[in-house]
Amino acid sequence: MSISISERAANRIHEIRREQNVSEKIPLRVAVVSGGCSGLTYNLEFDPEKEISESDKEFEDQGIKVVVDMRSFLYLAGTRLDYSDGLTGQGFHFQNPNATRSCSCGESFSL
């Protein structure tokens, strides 16, 4: 199982790279951190200074290299990253099959 990226999310990630002048060689790091009203929240960042460790999982989808630490991967296996720019909420959205509950805003989840 891996983390997949929708075409809309990939287009937005490429757009952000251009806006922030971030090289395509720098991977997108996805992580799960403590926080939010449901206990866990998602974190996305381009982190050129963070080294990829042997325990990190690496994936590529839609031409985007994704790196996930092992602890976060246990929460994210099978997740799909999507992007919406509609009136009901602009931003990245995680379709996580492992989440048993999420808050009303969709920013945090629990297992």
Q: Could you count the other beta carbons within 10 Å of the beta carbon of residue 99?
A: 18
Could you report the per-residue pLDDT of 31-46, keeping only the tens digit for each?
998 876 657 888 999 9
CA distance 64 to 55: 20
Q: Does domain 4-110 have CATH number 2.60.300.12?
A: yes
List the chain domain ranges: 4-110
Inter-residue contact 24 to 17 (CB < 8 Å): yes
Pairing of strands 80-84, 4-5: parallel
Could you report the per-residue pLDDT of 47-101, keeping only the tens digit for each?
877 778 889 999 999 999 999 999 999 989 999 999 988 766 788 888 888 877 6
